Amino acid sequence: MATDAMAPVATANVPKAKSELMQQRVRAARLFLIPMLVALAIVAGWPLLRSIYFSFTDATLNNLYGAEWIGFGNYLRWTVLESGTVRYRGVLADPDWWNAVWNTVRFAFWSVLWETVLGMIVALVLNAEFKGRGIVRAAILIPWAIPTIVSARMWSWMLNDQFGIINDLGMKLGLLAAPVAWTASADTAMTAVLIVDIWKTTPFMALLILAGLQMIPRDIYEAAAIDGVHPIKQFFRITLPLVRPALMVAIIFRVLDALRIFDLIYVLTPNSSATKTMSVLAQENLFQFNNFAEGSTQSTLLFLMIAIFTVLYIWLGRVNFDGGDR
């Protein structure tokens, strides 16, 4: 309900004083918001508009201001050859782009799926009462605390084809017949990226789910136990429905994060077309291959995708924007 945190203050005063007080507060609020809004406009709003603008021009890295408007040419343009065949060009007709889109979507889907399942298991373990729970909670925070770049390099050493401990372990346990070039070979590069990402972000997922689990009153389970409901049934009938809101928010958070992945892939599997995502492709085009306009187009398309997901998040998550109702 919109009964604001401030409402009691307001009603406690006489009407005239109230409106004066309210006006003073609103004036102060505006003043307080201006610095933040200006900062956000300069670092987010304006750059975003300019990036979108560049995607409609022929800008290059060294010629940002002399760029000319070319409409949707960077997105899609076509020429009709003399033979009558039509040749399409632009990002939307570029197989590299669609490969990156496919990689990104594939990565987002599998990483979030595994993180949700494993995060749920870890959260259920942490929600149980047992000796050493504090140690587990501390331990799972370690992957989260390690910088992505560091974990990428740590794992690329562990996944090294000749001297890596993963191959050694896999062969000792009889899981691998021969050493695998995890990050270098196109077949396993995505698996390698997924392993590292899942290792790194499952803790975050687990903590978010755990917060949801802890809000479920214990007596529901006691009642179910008295009624003789099997624990597995309890999970699907009680836990899952009640933790769903928290779970949904966590999943969409992670999807948004996975869709923009850059650093892990850039460091773990450099120049591998099997893992190159939209962000990596756009960054390379912008600043390394001198295809500034094309890179802007790709980043704009990625922004559109994420914008759609954000709207979905706000809609599905039913986020509470009404500051004062608690």
Residues 189-218 that bind other proteins (CB under 8 A): 199, 203-204, 207-208, 211-212
User: What are the φ/ψ torsions at residue 78 (nearest 5 degrees)?
Assistant: -145, 150
Does the footprint of other proteins cover residue 63 (CB under 8 A)? no
Residue selected from 51, 60, 188, 234 as contacting other proteins according to rule CB under 8 A = 51
Q: Is residue 206 a contact partner of residue 124, using CB atoms and an 8 Å limit?
A: no
> Of 198, 195, 157, 164, nearest to 180 (Cα)?
164
241 CB-contact burial (10 Å; exposed 0-12 / middle 13-18 / buried 19+):
exposed
Q: Is residue 115 a contact partner of residue 198, using CB atoms and an 8 Å limit?
A: yes
Does the footprint of other proteins cover residue 140 (CB under 8 A)? yes
* Distance, CA of 17 to CA of 20 (rounded, Å): 5
Q: Is residue 3 a contact partner of residue 326, using CB atoms and an 8 Å limit?
A: no
Q: Which stretch binds other proteins (CB under 8 A): 82-90, 107-115, 137-145, 234-242?
A: 137-145
* Distance, CA of 295 to CA of 61 (rounded, Å): 11
Does the footprint of other proteins cover residue 18 (CB under 8 A)? no
Binding positions for other proteins, 153-192, rule CB under 8 A = 153-155, 157-158, 160, 162-165, 168
Residue selected from 91, 180, 246, 272 as contacting other proteins according to rule CB under 8 A = 246
CB environment 226-238: b (16+ within 10 A), e (fewer): eeeeeeeebeeeb
Does the footprint of other proteins cover residue 12 (CB under 8 A)? yes
Does the footprint of other proteins cover residue 148 (CB under 8 A)? yes
Does the footprint of other proteins cover residue 33 (CB under 8 A)? yes
Does the footprint of other proteins cover residue 146 (CB under 8 A)? yes
CB environment 244-274: b (16+ within 10 A), e (fewer): eebbebbbbbbbbbbbbbeebbbbbbeebeb
Does the footprint of other proteins cover residue 228 (CB under 8 A)? no
Closer residue to other proteins in complex, CB, 189/207: 207
Residue selected from 39, 186, 240, 312 as contacting other proteins according to rule CB under 8 A = 39
Residue selected from 48, 186, 220, 223 as contacting other proteins according to rule CB under 8 A = 48
Q: How far is the CB of 319 from other proteins (least distance, A)?
A: 6
Closer residue to other proteins in complex, CB, 84/277: 277
Does the footprint of other proteins cover residue 96 (CB under 8 A)? no
Does the footprint of other proteins cover residue 320 (CB under 8 A)? yes
H helix or E strand, kind and range, residue 87 = strand 86-89
